[in-house]
A and B are shown apart, each in its own frame.
Chain A
Amino acid sequence: MTETTAPILSVRNLVVEAVNASGPVRIVDGVSFDVHAGEVFGIVGESGSGKSITMLAVMGLLSGRTRLAGGEVKLRGKSLTDMSREELRRVRGRNVSMIFQDPMTSLNPVLRIGNQIAEILEIHQPELSRAAVRDRVIELLSLVGVPSPERRYRQYPHEFSGGMRQRAMIAMAIANNPDILIADEPTTALDVTIQAQVMELLLEVRTRNRAAMILITHDLGLVAETVDRVAVMYGGRLMEEGPVEEIFSRPAHPYTVGLMASRPRLDAAPAFLYSIPGQPPSLANRPSGCVFNPRCALQNGREICTTKLPLLDSVSTAHSAACHFSREIDGWIGEVVTADRNSMREAP
Chain B
Amino acid sequence: MTQASPDKAFLQVDDLHTHFRVRGAGWRSETLRAVNGVSFSIAQGETLGLVGESGCGKSTLGRTLLRLNEPTRGAVYFKGQNLVGMGRGKMRAVRRSIQVVFQDPYASLDPKMTVGEIIAEPLHINNCYRPARVAEMIDCVGLQQDAANRLPTEFSGGQRQRIAIARALALGPELLILDEAVSALDVSIQAQVINLLKQLQKEMGLTYLFISHDLSVVRYISDKVAVMYLGKIVEMGAGEQIFSAPEHPYTQSLLSAVPIADPSYRKQRQRIVLKGDLPNPLDPPSGCAFRTRCFKARPKCAEQEPQLETRATAGHLSADHVSACHFAEPVVPDFMKINTNTQTAAPALRSGAILKA
Q: Do chains A and B touch in the complex (CB under 8 A)?
A: yes
> Which residues of chain A have a CB within 8 Å of any CB of chain B?
46-47, 161, 163-164, 191-197, 199-200, 218-226, 244-245, 248-251, 257-277, 279-280, 295, 297, 330, 332-341, 343-348
* Residues of chain B with a CB closer than 8 A to A335's CB: 353, 355-356
Give A220's nearest chain B residue, CB to CB.
B261
Q: How far is the CB of A302 from chain B (nearest CB, A)?
A: 15
The residue in chain B whose Cβ has the minimal distance to the Cβ of A282 is: B156
A336 engages B353 (CB within 8 Å): yes
Contact with A along B242-267 (1 / 0, CB 8 A): 01000000000111111111111110
Which of B162, B216, B263, B354 is A265 in contact with, Cβ under 8 Å?
Answer: B216
The verdict on B66 contacting chain A, using a C-beta distance below 8 Å, is no
23 contacts between A and B (CB under 8 A): A46-B187, A164-B277, A193-B254, A196-B256, A196-B273, A199-B259, A221-B259, A248-B262, A258-B188, A261-B349, A263-B187, A266-B243, A266-B258, A272-B195, A273-B220, A275-B191, A276-B192, A280-B189, A295-B188, A335-B353, A335-B356, A344-B195, A344-B196
Interface centre among B162, B199, B349 (most CB of A within 10 A): B349
CB within 8 Å for A336 and B354 given contacts A193-B253, A258-B188, A266-B335: yes
B355 engages A297 (CB within 8 Å): yes
A34 vs chain B, min Cβ distance (A): 20
Q: Tell me which residues across on chain A come within 8 A of B53, comparing CB atoms.
A: 191-194
Chain B residues near A (Cβ < 8 Å): 53-54, 142-144, 147, 155-159, 162, 186-192, 194-196, 199, 213, 215-217, 219-221, 239-240, 243, 253-266, 271, 273-274, 277-278, 335-336, 338, 341, 343-346, 348-357
Q: Are B350 and A265 in contact (CB under 8 A)?
A: yes
Give the 7 A-B CB pairs with smallest separation, nearest first. Answer: A270-B352, A221-B259, A249-B344, A262-B191, A275-B191, A264-B220, A345-B142
- Structural contact, B142 and A260, CB atoms closer than 8 A: no
- Give the complex CA separation of A220 and B187 in angstroms: 10
| CB nearest neighbor in B for A347 | B144
Q: Which residues of A contact B199 (CB under 8 A)?
A: 341, 344-345
A216 to B299, CA, bound (A): 43
Taken together as a complex, chains A and B put the C-alpha atoms of A164 and B275 apart, in Å, by 12
Smallest beta-carbon distance B248→chain A, Å: 13
Residue in A191, A264, A277, A279 whose beta carbon sits within 8 Å of that of B54 in the complex: A191
Known: A248-B344, A257-B355. A262 touches B188 (CB 8 A): yes
With most chain A CB atoms within 10 A of its CB, the pick from B143, B254, B351, B357 is: B357
- A contact residues around B155 at 8 Å (CB): 348
Task: State whether A200 touches B263 (Cβ < 8 A).
Answer: no
